[in-house]
Amino acid sequence: MSIKWEGVMPAVTTQFTSNDELDLEFFKVNIKAQLDAGVHGLVLGGTLGEASTLSDEERRILTRETVAFVNGKVPVLMNIAEQTTKAAINLAKTAEEDGAEGLMMLPPMRYKASDDEVVEYFRAVANSTSLPIMIYNNPVDYKIEVTLDMFEKLLETCPNIQAVKESTRDTTNITRIKNRFGDRLAIMTGVDTLALESLLIGADGWVAGLVDAFPAETVAIYELQKAGKIKEAIAIYRWFMPLLELDINPKLVQYIKLASAYTEIGSEYVRAPRLVLEGEERKTIVKIIEDGLKTRPTLPDYKNLNN
């Protein structure tokens, strides 16, 4: 299997009903909005997908339903965020069986593994599957950094490790990766507030968060910068920034789900122990969302920039 590691790939939210069941109907409303906007792939079961709260069966249902709904239009990836190598290998196996075309992988959860342990963890999972893999490198939130030396070891022995979701918050890392590995390791920027900068200095694509509420604006920024229309991309990006900052908060799930409720392509229901927003915090986030909606830009025909 192969994936073109480029473009916008939403880290999609998992939709729940008020009774804490999977809401597959509303989930598909959001997926349709992503496809209509022109996204280039979908990532299931990430942080925004509330991965840690999903059962194995729920992950399988989401994968199967998404694969069937998308029907080959874009690749569907499943995230792996497990505590043990055995569980990660099993999830890779079931994701492949259920039709996923790729994996996103975090280092081992909870246990702060050593560099050698992290490398062996990724290697064991990669060698257990034929699916292409994107390593999620987010030391800010997950306290383990996958260094360039660690990537060197992995790329030597794991041809299906093909991309990194670059979330170190250090944009100079993009140039270091390109200098070291060239095109061997694709770079998908993973921080909304650094996305345009990252794309302009060499990132191949964007695993996005606020795309769950504003898919067209997100894809427009990517397509405009790719076509060299930098001023137009910057104008949308500057409008977007107060909203993009919702992605870099511990409550990003609640914030982004609330935004998607305002744009009517998602609900704000979250799975406990998360709670929906209340009080002054809710008022603050609602104001950011409403201010953004009041000044929402008219987008150019970003799907036909080369015509």
Name the active-site residue from 4, 32, 111, 136.
136
Instruction: Mark whether 165 is an active-site residue.
Output: yes
Name the active-site residue from 121, 165, 255, 257.
165
Residue 306, pLDDT > 90, answer no
Domain ranges across the chain: 7-304
Using DSSP bridges, classify how beta strands 102-105 and 133-137 pair: parallel, antiparallel or unpaired: parallel
Average pLDDT score over residue span 246-250: 96
Average pLDDT score over residue span 265-281: 97
Instruction: Say how far apart CA 11 and CA 145 lie, in whole Å.
Output: 20
- Give 84-90 contacts, CB < 8 A, sequence gap 24+: 84/108, 85/120, 85/121, 85/124, 85/125, 88/121, 88/124, 88/125, 89/124, 89/125, 89/128, 89/129
Q: How would residue 109 be classed by pLDDT, with cut points 50, 70 and 90? A: confident
Cα separations (Å) of 89 from 64, 85, 130, 178, 256?
18, 6, 12, 29, 30
Looking at the chain, the whole-number percentage of residues with pLDDT higher than 70 is 99
CB 223 within 8 A of CB 44: no
Give domain 7-304's CATH number out of 3.40.30.10, 3.40.50.300, 3.20.20.70, 3.40.50.1100.
3.20.20.70
pLDDT tens, position by position, 180-230: 999 999 999 999 999 999 999 999 999 999 999 999 999 999 999 999 999
pLDDT tens, position by position, 47-72: 999 999 999 999 999 999 999 999 99
Residue 293, pLDDT > 60, answer yes
